[in-house]
Structure 1
Amino acid sequence: MEYSLFTKLAAEFVGTAVLMVFGNGAVANVELKNTKGHHAGWLNIAMGYGFGVMFPVLMFGGVSGAHINPAMTLAQAINGMFPWGDVLPYIIAQLLGAAVGQLIVYVTYYPHYKETDDPEAILATFCTTDAEGSRSNYFLNEFFGTLMLVLGALCCLTLPWGENDHAAASIVVGFIVWGLVTSMGGPTGPGLNPARDLMPRLLHAILPIPNKGESRWAEAWIPVVAPILGAIAGAWLYNVLFV
């Protein structure tokens, strides 16, 4: 069944919002003061992001492709796998969905934002940073992490076994994200998605949160540019090796 562009954009909007609620919601549960999950640990965060990708792909993969990531949309278009005319509408829907999802996290954790006095913990619930303060390390981790994500997702969802069993392929994609966060997420977070970092960082800058500190705009280009380049490389490898 071919869906209208409006329906596809609605799927990208809702799917990206779901990603933010599950992913950054898990970070907020771990990092913010006096939550039920305070200090629950990195595996709790990894699980949140894994489910945050798995569920939208299950829900909307058959509608819009469930890119839920501007890097994935651009990478597919550049590699001839997605129509250029739909790129800008998809990205706008993803950015808006990321903003709405982050707002839901902010509203539901509002009392805990007020109680938290650690600026780094607050910032972590919105966007990524490099644990060592190294921009080159930041870039490399976001690049290679997104490359692995896009290559893995395309292999799962478009090779014959995935096309024949979309639900199973969607679950595996969720596990890829879960695995990437546990294995490669230590240095940066990770982001792997420009919308997941840019829009929450913007909200961090404008929302009235006590003790929130700086939004670190000087490095904000890294989790936007590096995932896009990594995604392009991942989609190119997929085309060269498996198509």
Structure 2
Amino acid sequence: MADRTSRPWTRLRQTTAGELLAEFLGTAILIILGCGSVAVAVAGLPGSGRQTGDFGPANWLIIAWGWGLAVTLAVYVAGGVSGAHINPAVTLAFAIRRKFPWAKVLPYWVAQVVGAFAGAAVVLGVYHNAIDAFLAAQNPPTDRPGSLATFSIFATFPAKYFGNGVWGPLVDQIVGTAILVAILAAIIDSRNQAPAANLAPFVVGLIVVAIGLTYGTNAGYAINPARDLGPRLLALAGGWGSKAFPGNGDWFSGYWWIPIVGPLVGGVVGVLIYDFFIGTVLAVRPAPGAEPTPEPGRVPGSADGAGDGTRAEGEALSDADRARSAQAQRSE
């Protein structure tokens, strides 16, 4: 029987391709659950007969917690293989400050966007009946190109108070993603108070919940270029027209690029902020529980330093002599 590790598909999985598969699936799960929570709030509950009263603003809690749990579970799925970036902004920030290979950045981005598109396709496939019923129930009935509410299941748009301005939503995305990546850098930093017992994915999800509850209403808190671009492409293919591309609405136009550029800039800003204020400080401080640096010439743990230091020095010289002798014998 042939060794399974010699099979081409197995060998492929052992390379970067295996990491890309993990990023694809992790991002797909993120969108399936995250956009699924928005579909519940927008069309599922109102049309299913399971909502006896209007939740009003409380629907935002469904969305915020839905996205937070989506991130948690996606990280649990993909983290052991690819690190579960599931976000091009995280990938870029790690390439700049965490020695993530630059050669993998573009492939990771592609896998993330394709995974997000696939996840959005699942959401549309499951909820298309609810979406159509929601559209038919409007007064007057509307279609997909005219429905911003159903478009919001898949991609983001700015709040009315921004008007058609660019800087407000762009700064919002920079700040939101900077918060995400800065706290993420703290969570995975083993020199800091990193969560133990495999709780890091759960804490990462709580970051997203916190951002949704504090900054989410400005522009939908995409804070992830793949999270917005993949479903936006699906919405374009699914019939939402110019609301998807170029991102036009009653008070905004050409919005599609802001949830891409903003998070990419914000991710870099976030990791730089963490490293400046915390990371570089930790780098020059002794690790908790580490032995103190001995005085020059003193052996760690010795009481007087003189006799023990001389003896240790002699032992070190003997070891060095034996090593040189062995090397000479090998060269002969």
TM over 0.5: yes
The answer as to 2:40 corresponding to 1:12 is: no
Per-residue CA distance 1:198-238 (angstroms, 9 max, x = gap): 121111112146xx773251111100000000001011122
Deviations 1:161-214 (A, max 9, x none): 6667262122111111111101110111110000111121111112146xx773
Mind listing any 5+ residue stretches in structure 2 that lack a counterpart? 1-13, 136-141, 247-253, 280-332
Paired letter, 2:174: F
1:119-138 CA-to-partner distances (Å, cap 9, x unmatched) read: 11111101111112342221
**What's the counterpart of residue 122 of structure 1?**
150
Cα offset for 1:110? 1.0
- Preserved CA contact (<8 Å) 2:148 2:243: no
Q: Secondary structure at 2:217's aligned position in 1?
A: coil
C-alpha distance in 2 between matches for 1:61 and 1:242:
24
Q: How far apart in 2 are the matches of 1:200 and 1:68?
A: 14
- Distance, in Å, in 2 between the alignment partners of 1:140 and 1:14 is 30
Q: Cα gap change, 1:153/1:231 in structure 2, threshold over 3 Å: closer, same or farther?
A: same
TM-fit CA distance, 1:81: 2.8
Q: How far apart are 1:65 and its partner, in Å?
A: 1.0
Which residue does the alignment assign to 1:81? 99
C-alpha contact 2:29 2:70 (8 A) present in aligned 1: yes
- CA RMSD of superposed structures (Å): 2.2
Further displaced range: 132-141 or 172-181 = 132-141
In 1, the alpha carbon distance for the partners of 2:201 and 2:191 equals: 14
Q: Number of matched residues? A: 240
Aligned residue in 2 for 1:30: 41
Q: Alpha-carbon deviation of 1:62?
A: 2.5
Partner of 1:144: 175
Q: Which amino acid aligns with 2:202?
A: I
Between the aligned partners of 2:207 and 2:38, the Cα distance in structure 1 is: 18
Structure 1, residues 82-131: CA drift from partner, whole Å, max 9, x if none? 11011111111101100000001000101012122261111110111111
Render the CA deviation track for 1:53-102: whole Å, top value 9, x for unaligned: 11122222222110000111111112243110111111111011000000
Kindly indicate whether the alpha-carbon contact (under 8 Å) linking 2:236 and 2:242 is maintained by their aligned counterparts in 1. no
Q: Secondary structure at the match of 1:129?
A: coil
- CA separation of 1:219/1:213 partners in 2, compared to 1, >3 Å: closer, same or farther? closer
CA distance in 2 between counterparts of 1:105 and 1:175 reads: 23
What's the secondary structure of 1:219's corresponding residue?
coil
Secondary structure, counterpart of 1:192 in structure 2: coil
1:219 aligns with 2:255: yes
1:233 lines up with 2:269 in the alignment: yes
Change over 3 Å in CA distance of 1:88–1:72 after alignment to 2 = same
For 1:48, the aligned partner's letter is: G
Matches within 5 A, 1:195-206: 195-206=226-237
Answer yes or no: is the 8 Å Cα contact 2:32–2:119 preserved in 1: yes
Q: Measure the CA separation in 1 of the matches of 2:236 and 2:66.
A: 24
Counterparts of 2:219 and 2:200, CA distance in 1? 27
Q: TM-score, normalised by structure 1?
A: 0.91
CA change 1:215–1:240 in 2 (3 A) is: same
Contact 2:27 2:119 in 1 (8 A): yes
Point out which structure has higher relative CO (alpha carbons under 8 A, 6+ apart): 1
3-state secondary structure, aligned to 1:127: coil
Q: Which has the larger radius of gyration?
A: 2
The code of the aligned residue for 1:241 comes to: F
Q: Note closer, same or farther for the CA distance 1:46–1:157 as it changes in structure 2 (3 Å cut).
A: same
Check whether the contact 1:58–1:167 (CA below 8 A) recurs between aligned residues: no
1:44 corresponds to which residue?
62
Report if the CA contact (8 A) 1:20-1:101 is conserved. yes
Q: Does residue 71 of structure 2 align to residue 53 of structure 1?
A: yes
